[in-house]
Amino acid sequence: MHDHFTSHAADLSGPRSFPSIADGFALGGDYSPEQWPEEVWQEDVALMRRAGVNSVNLGVFSWGLLEVADGEYDWGWLDRAMDLLHENGIGVNLATPTAAPPMWLLQAHPEIATVDEFGVRTSQGGRLAWSPSSATFRRFALRFVRALAERYGSHPALRLWHVSNEIGNENARCYSDETALAWQSWLEARFGSIDALNQAWGTAFWGHHYTSFSQVLPPRHARTSHNPGLLLDFERFTSDALLGHYLAERAVLREVTPDIPITTNFMIMNNPGVADYRRWAEEVDLVANDHYTIGADPERHGELSFSADRARGVAQGRPWLLIEHSTSAVNWQPVNRAKSAGELARNSLAHIARGADGALFFQWRVSAAGSEQFHSGIVPHAGADSKIYREVEALGAVLRAIAPVAGSTVERARLGILFDWESAAAWRSGNKPTRSIGYLDLPLALHRALTRRGIAAEVVRPQEGLDGFDLVLVPTLYLAAPGVAEQLGEFARAGGHVLVSYLSGIVDDANRVITGGYPGAYRDLLGVRVEEFYPLFEGESVSLDSGATATTWTELLRAEGAEVLARYATGELAGHPAVTRARVGAGSATYLSAGLDAAGIQSLVDDLVALAGVAPVADVDEGIEVTRRRSADRSYLFLINHTGEDLEARASGTDLVSGAVHSGVVSVAAGAVVVLEEAAR
Amino acid sequence: MHDHFTSHAADLSGPRSFPSIADGFALGGDYSPEQWPEEVWQEDVALMRRAGVNSVNLGVFSWGLLEVADGEYDWGWLDRAMDLLHENGIGVNLATPTAAPPMWLLQAHPEIATVDEFGVRTSQGGRLAWSPSSATFRRFALRFVRALAERYGSHPALRLWHVSNEIGNENARCYSDETALAWQSWLEARFGSIDALNQAWGTAFWGHHYTSFSQVLPPRHARTSHNPGLLLDFERFTSDALLGHYLAERAVLREVTPDIPITTNFMIMNNPGVADYRRWAEEVDLVANDHYTIGADPERHGELSFSADRARGVAQGRPWLLIEHSTSAVNWQPVNRAKSAGELARNSLAHIARGADGALFFQWRVSAAGSEQFHSGIVPHAGADSKIYREVEALGAVLRAIAPVAGSTVERARLGILFDWESAAAWRSGNKPTRSIGYLDLPLALHRALTRRGIAAEVVRPQEGLDGFDLVLVPTLYLAAPGVAEQLGEFARAGGHVLVSYLSGIVDDANRVITGGYPGAYRDLLGVRVEEFYPLFEGESVSLDSGATATTWTELLRAEGAEVLARYATGELAGHPAVTRARVGAGSATYLSAGLDAAGIQSLVDDLVALAGVAPVADVDEGIEVTRRRSADRSYLFLINHTGEDLEARASGTDLVSGAVHSGVVSVAAGAVVVLEEAAR
Amino acid sequence: MHDHFTSHAADLSGPRSFPSIADGFALGGDYSPEQWPEEVWQEDVALMRRAGVNSVNLGVFSWGLLEVADGEYDWGWLDRAMDLLHENGIGVNLATPTAAPPMWLLQAHPEIATVDEFGVRTSQGGRLAWSPSSATFRRFALRFVRALAERYGSHPALRLWHVSNEIGNENARCYSDETALAWQSWLEARFGSIDALNQAWGTAFWGHHYTSFSQVLPPRHARTSHNPGLLLDFERFTSDALLGHYLAERAVLREVTPDIPITTNFMIMNNPGVADYRRWAEEVDLVANDHYTIGADPERHGELSFSADRARGVAQGRPWLLIEHSTSAVNWQPVNRAKSAGELARNSLAHIARGADGALFFQWRVSAAGSEQFHSGIVPHAGADSKIYREVEALGAVLRAIAPVAGSTVERARLGILFDWESAAAWRSGNKPTRSIGYLDLPLALHRALTRRGIAAEVVRPQEGLDGFDLVLVPTLYLAAPGVAEQLGEFARAGGHVLVSYLSGIVDDANRVITGGYPGAYRDLLGVRVEEFYPLFEGESVSLDSGATATTWTELLRAEGAEVLARYATGELAGHPAVTRARVGAGSATYLSAGLDAAGIQSLVDDLVALAGVAPVADVDEGIEVTRRRSADRSYLFLINHTGEDLEARASGTDLVSGAVHSGVVSVAAGAVVVLEEAAR
């Protein structure tokens, strides 16, 4: 039933169904009528209809134009905009505009703003200046949210509450005195006693022993690196403090408008980002994500696919919404690349292929003024007679053509990649053996290698069940959450295959090293013990006797029960094991100690996939991205050709886009997308 | 009449004549006798006479040595220095020493100092610490200026008031509360109503709506980019606030010494700099400029020539004074290159060739101590028995030999380059499509290409008349000032030829994009419409079918009436127009959409010059820089050989430097300068 | 007598003998039992005994665990640790834990923390947050030091007081108001009158004239470079202020425990570092140094050797203690390289070869938590069954085998390198002709060239006597201390040979340029005069007619009495002298004006060594580092092979490590160390 979706939000008494925000796939974007004279609005809705826009995000930054002075409201323009959209059949995701506190509020209460680690308070002029720990801000924000909900809660255009905007994007990490009090309360709730905190963080080092929670400050500017345990907990606190603001708004909205679903837009691509979105996801009715490609990355579509799989993982496999991406250039990169012909459609459909039930753009009409005047939109400065508008119009047609796919879900993969925000946060918290390895590097490289072979993956939080997987990858999963080692062991004993890489299972939940040899959490499973890390400098490389090349990382590894698959052939560690595999029950546990280059990673993936018998989604030429969505009685194969050459896939069915019927072989033109309703199999 | 010059300063009731500051060309520099025992002064003046020094800047940083405590003066040493200089026939440009507030003042009133965007107040120990919006500083400064003017206003050595020093160099942009009040007043005067400001800046974006001027703060540290309109106006306010300090000093000086001309030293080479010097120029009796080459730039003489043309443009074609440059190395670059043999003379004469009526150096005698102890001077640490002193001595002889040239003006060129501080300030205000293009890049590249062909150019503000030009270049003139588009249209219809480049005419006066397709201001004139920008990454390049190469910028361009001169041959835009030309009345309007490399720019310039029939100043070998100055009845050809090889020019006349008479061909030795009094033509 | 050592500390009435801190060579490290449960302590001491550990640094960061609240003490755990160590025959260097003020103290008195130049006060969470000028901190620190000394002063395990830790490492340079008062007092003591200060600093420049010491502030954030004289004196003040803290602690310790020697750990490798250790050395009973190699430096063992020679120089030729180095990786470099096999032994023995009487490691057991959880130790995370522990165990055996060497001193070299902290501090104080030359570059390059030839060197402060030297090198000795020029003249006249390089003798004691031509202090000695500096840009190079290549620096040099050894062959200075030599009495004075590459430096060194007749320590293959220690009746040759190939030395004697007897030729295996008790010569 794709006209409804089910919320599992934690504040509901149980799963609950809400109407979908659009018929078929959602198409549209952020709409800011307040930036334009009302005569332009008429052209806007006409163009929206022409392009098939059915969903807009409205009012994202409009607080100051609605509450024009303390407690004084002016709803007129928004009333008219809501009515106009409704008249034209366009649904509204109405934002609580708390991302943009009014100037009068910032003037009256500058203390609501975040303070950085040097004690500098954020001034006005950006957005999201507020600290989530400011009681004053909370009071003003909730008063406005209530007024907004009361005014528009029963407006027929309203489909979804869009709480604030990219919470944490500019207000991550506050170090103010008010925040310090919230932090101390959070710590007291987490640890119970100050002795427990001292023990967890290892405060005996450098004499950081506390005798009261009131002594613990945020990690303000010191002249050295702070305690890694403190840093990690400050990341957790920050995520929780920001989520706390969302929860406070949600409570008001749920009370006033119990029948309207509620979400907030995530930024999953941020690496590693300030919010533990997997945890946040449990509080929204629908996961909604913002995604922007990095123009300088020639493989940006691979990053997009991984982010989309992460979003689906955060949504626990259920459909989700791409609530912001761009039609073309953004304005915040050093050089803001225009998208290539067809790229906006490929980007949109790649998200949909991986579970999104819509693709909205920031923004509808490009601003003439303001900080984002050069951020692309659906209607560029040049107007609707333009490549971009025409491409969106064409996308609208495609989305209508593939409407049958809406409501289906992505076929569950047999391969899981364990990925965890806490682990990422731990890796950035404190001095580490190297700064040359980013938390996302290996997971993304593995995902690319899989995608190149047409193999699907689920990105899952370690604590989640591994049922249904044949192969589980554990790439640089630095922090070992409680129970994960046991879970992996059970999985392998039952016949599953596991790959654990270097820099996995190094620290516990408190960011303390698990002693006895790395990887502390998994060394029994793997039958290995790492004595010492041998990170490589940029430009350095080491060969393995398998022919692979390590470029970032090596280790002094001992096999203690595992079979040695490859040894180091050059460098300090020549002769020592590099890759091992232990038989575990009916399964296996492979350990990778070396930071391999792309070719080495591809070989390893090929080997593991063969070992575990994981099949590709379909047999496709390299360069085609392939995924499958399934409904109760249908399956849909998405084939996206990211290359400049025509390619082929071995599949059969009807291309919903072109209407063509394929039998056995599907040709996918350069840059094109085929959505095949598959012949019954 | 080269013994007088005419001031057009705005505070005079009309143009007014003042005696020249030196007989013939001024030669000399900043003189700091207070740094040396008085016995050294005798050697100083003897060496000055030997070198032909006739003009010094005196007292630039002497406030604290003259007002030794609040209201307590000690004039003795300055009296003696003034007398000594006068006795030796050396004119004095006496500085008001307000660039260096005394320590006792900074201690008593730390609040006079600038505050940065993070709230950090500048401490003592540098120079120019004061905020131009500080009422307290203003009061102390004017009291001292009055005392100084009263003391020395009738001293016979006094030729010129040199107000403060490089105003804005270290005190650009203050964010203090006192500045905020001045900023609010400035905004109120500019906009009249807060609604007008909201409209101009587009404050609806990000909810920046103001309901009172008192809510508008300087762009202090936020965590995102500020509104581009606000940023541009803050640049304008800053320029005006700094100019305001000059005006306040000028008022005192004019009142006390109405017969002494007044100026302040500009820094036109700063890119784009904090002061709108074209506007400042209307307030000085004589434009005076500081110029320093960047040693790491192998084409630094080209930058110098362009800066000199900019200075002449700022002076509206009248003579001006090079009041500071260096004999050799400076001390503030990462590696401070010594000048090559002859370079100080070529630099001096290149300025004079482009309109300067003198060449003064910072500094006379190199300091032993203080922050600039390694900045070169006329008398180096090694003393007068040195390459540098001898080169200055030789320069003195050349200046005496070419004294007949003094008082002449540079022959008006037939080619104008539109250049504008506001446009530069707008380009740096806010997020832009690329950070890889500097505002000066294309104007300078065009100027180099012209200089290579011996073609002269005027650098003019867009609003100025275009009379007398055959060709007008509009390179990356980002902001379209009111009326400029109309003016260019009239110019072209009357037979003129125009080149407009990418990134011209994009925003209006308020830094708002002119919508409908780029370049909004000029698309009717050009018969084109740009749909979208395609900036290139470093290392990327695209070919045109003309053989040219674009390396920084391309655009999706449509010809809508214009003829296509060249198309993109590779890349995303292959097949689309790259360069177009529209016939406009008797003239033409060429549009360049591509950021070309040097060869491409040279070809374009050669083509345009041929089209417009613009002739070179003289027929010279490549590598000779050629310019012409004219008096009522004479013309002087400057030929500067910047290469290491002997070259030739086709010209006739008498070399004032050597006395040689040339007929038809002039040989210019490697590194040499010829100043030819031309045979009547 | 190597079971005692002699202190020359200034607070003693004369030289005084103390018992050595260990029998034979000290081996051990920083021990933090407070980080581990007491059951681990038993394993610790067992492993210590097994490895031959005989000396530990204890209690370095333990203040907060001992003074658990203001004036409330808990000595229990430390009592037990001291007893346990004593029972196991391990000596304790007991730290006063003032590097780590307790959290309760930082909360009660945040004003004890340093303030940076922007006014930001250091927060808690690092170490050494305190300002040495804080009277409040001093009071709390001394109260605790007294309590500690009273408690443990007569404990039998106590061998040495280890005052605080790396004083200045994180608390260098405080700019607070309280510091300003201390700074003003220091200046008044130094200069006597404010006029003397004005004269010394040249405050006439930029109007920095002071009329009272109370006007002189620390060099807080201005927008330009501060006065070089002020900057240099602020460096001197900072060193003195930090030393002042040590002296205050020492006074308490000396009073309470007159029989226990006192030291603090230096960081001589810091370049140039904040402390004038040569001056500090006069206040410690035993010089103790921390040294860490930079993993990215492929020639790091050369840097280590130079630092060790600097340490011996600071100790004025007497033995000293390596009190901290690392077994393998550190945690604060961008990529933290593991040490190669045998490297920890070579590093330890290279220090001992150059005078150290022990080699202690930070740290005993690697922390599981805290900021340095990835800093290597003797017992790694993997436990004692590990490469590292086994290598330390082996080192222990070597140290026992070479115990006869303990108490001997390094044979005095015939070659001196003048090196000076003040000169280094002057070079970093203010704008300079280039930023591409570091103060350590040339001294280290010369030292490497000497080491390559087996030639020993003493690193001496310029003011120290030159007796016994045949050759003295003066590399980039920027500041000319009073009397040094005269001393070098006497040395040369008496037959000594001197090399002076560019950037030597440029400024006087007040950081004022010595005028008249560079190098002002030495130009009479050298018979040269430099007119002007010609620094080179990165990538630029100039050839000399000797075949050498200059890459960083050249000068316009005139020989005024000196013979020209080499001239510039290319570039601006082609034909001008580059290297000169003057005959001075029975000796010579060579001047090097060019920043040569490594080959050029090697040639120059070879030439000078031949000229002065300086012989190598022994005739060894290149790649062997050779040094000699001597006792009254014995000599010991250390041969360290840093290469991967077996090499030879021409020498005879008994290898104390292996027991092998060598006659004429000693083979030194790849990576191995031979300590030869030499046959009588």
The answer on pLDDT for B435 being more than 70 is yes
Question: What is the pLDDT of chain A when averaged over all its residues?
Answer: 97
**Which residue, chain included where needed, has tokens 């003379």?**
B345
The answer on pLDDT for B643 being more than 70 is yes
Least Cα separation, residue B540 to chain A (angstroms): 11
Contact C217 B125 (CB under 8 A): yes
Question: What is the pLDDT of chain B when averaged over all its residues?
Answer: 97
Q: Residues 205-234, chain B: which have Cβ within 8 Å of A? A: 205-211, 214-215, 217, 219-230
- For range A309-314, the mean pLDDT: 98
Contact C340 A215 (CB under 8 A): no
| Tokens matching residue C427 | 């070079």
**Strand C356-361 to strand C320-325: parallel, antiparallel, or no bridges (unpaired)?**
parallel
Sign of the CA dihedral running C379, C381, C384, C390: negative
Single out the catalytic residue among C166, C249, C391, C458.
C166
- pLDDT category, C681, cuts 50, 70, 90? low
Least Cα separation, residue C204 to chain A (angstroms): 35
Percent of chain A with pLDDT over 90: 98
Report yes or no: B71 at the A interface, CB cutoff 8 Å: no
The answer on pLDDT for C125 being more than 90 is yes
Single out the catalytic residue among B67, B235, B324, B391.
B324
**Cis peptide bond prior to C228, omega within 30° of 0:** no
The answer on pLDDT for A681 being more than 70 is no
C-chain CB neighbours of A556 within 8 Å are: 338, 387
C-chain CB neighbours of B332 within 8 Å are: 225, 431
What 3-state class would DSSP assign to A563? strand
pLDDT in tens, C164-178: 999 999 999 999 999
Contact C125 A510 (CB under 8 A): no
In chain A, the domains with their CATH numbers are 415-612 (3.40.50.880), 619-678 (2.60.40.1180)
Contact B335 C535 (CB under 8 A): yes
pLDDT number for residue B1: 42
CB pairs under 8 A between A and C: 196
Single out the catalytic residue among C235, C249, C303, C324.
C324
**Chains touching C, CB cut-off 8 Å, 3+ pairs:** A, B
Q: What pTM was computed for the model?
A: 0.97
pLDDT in tens, C640-680: 999 999 999 999 999 999 999 999 999 999 999 999 999 87
DSSP assignments along B603-665, one per residue: HHHHHHHHHHTPPPSSEE-TTEEEEEEE-SS-EEEEEEE-SSS-EEEE--EEETTT--EESS-
C-chain CB neighbours of A208 within 8 Å are: 64, 100, 103, 124-125, 370
Q: What strands lie across the sheet with A666-668, from one edge to the other? A: A619-620, A647-650, A666-668
Report yes or no: A37 at the B interface, CB cutoff 8 Å: no
A-chain CB neighbours of C367 within 8 Å are: 202, 205, 513
Contact B556 A338 (CB under 8 A): yes
Percent of chain B with pLDDT over 70: 99
Contact A374 B204 (CB under 8 A): no
Contact B125 C220 (CB under 8 A): yes
pLDDT in tens, B557-585: 999 999 999 999 999 999 999 999 999 99
B-chain CB neighbours of C204 within 8 Å are: 32, 34-35, 61, 65, 370
ipTM: 0.97
Mutate to test the interface with C, among A175, A226, A436, A532 (most CBs of C within 10 A): A532
Of C214, C435, C512, the CB nearest to B335: C435
What stretches of C530-639 show up as alpha helix (H) in DSSP? 598-612
- pLDDT category, C278, cuts 50, 70, 90? very high
Cβ atoms of A371 and B224 closer than 8 Å: yes
Contact A556 C103 (CB under 8 A): no
The DSSP code for A479 is B
Contact B125 C534 (CB under 8 A): no
- pLDDT category, C1, cuts 50, 70, 90? very low
Least Cα separation, residue C622 to chain B (angstroms): 36
Mutate to test the interface with C, among A198, A531, A540, A557 (most CBs of C within 10 A): A531
Report yes or no: B107 at the C interface, CB cutoff 8 Å: yes
What 3-state class would DSSP assign to B164? coil
pLDDT in tens, A354-390: 999 999 999 999 999 999 999 999 999 999 999 999 9
- pLDDT category, B2, cuts 50, 70, 90? low
Mutate to test the interface with A, among B201, B223, B572 (most CBs of A within 10 A): B223
Contact B223 A371 (CB under 8 A): no
pLDDT number for residue B253: 98
B-chain CB neighbours of C227 within 8 Å are: 125, 369-371
Cβ atoms of A208 and C125 closer than 8 Å: yes
A-chain CB neighbours of B194 within 8 Å are: none
Single out the catalytic residue among A67, A249, A324, A458.
A324
A-chain CB neighbours of B511 within 8 Å are: 369
CA distances (Å), origin A596, targets A271, A545, A553, B20: 21, 13, 8, 74
Q: Residues 571-590, chain A: which have Cβ within 8 Å of C? A: 572
Cβ atoms of C204 and B65 closer than 8 Å: yes
The phi-psi region of residue C194 (left if phi > 0; otherwise alpha if psi is between -120 and 50; otherwise beta) is alpha
Least Cα separation, residue B279 to chain A (angstroms): 26
B-chain CB neighbours of A338 within 8 Å are: 532-535, 556, 572
The answer on pLDDT for A339 being more than 50 is yes
C324 is catalytic: yes
Sign of the CA dihedral running A604, A605, A606, A611: positive
Of A206, A433, A534, the CB nearest to C127: A206
Contact C217 B62 (CB under 8 A): no
pLDDT in tens, C54-71: 999 999 999 999 999 999
Sign of the CA dihedral running C321, C327, C332, C334: positive
Cβ atoms of B355 and B629 closer than 8 Å: yes
Give ∠ CA A624-A626-A627 in degrees, rounded to 5: 165
Cβ atoms of C266 and C325 closer than 8 Å: no
Q: Residues 293-352, chain A: which have Cβ within 8 Å of B? A: 295-296, 328-329, 331-332, 334-338, 340-341
Least confident of A204-208, A227-231, C667-671: A204-208
Report yes or no: C436 at the B interface, CB cutoff 8 Å: yes
**Which residue, chain included where needed, has tokens 């790259």?**
B578
The phi-psi region of residue A23 (left if phi > 0; otherwise alpha if psi is between -120 and 50; otherwise beta) is beta
C-chain CB neighbours of A427 within 8 Å are: none
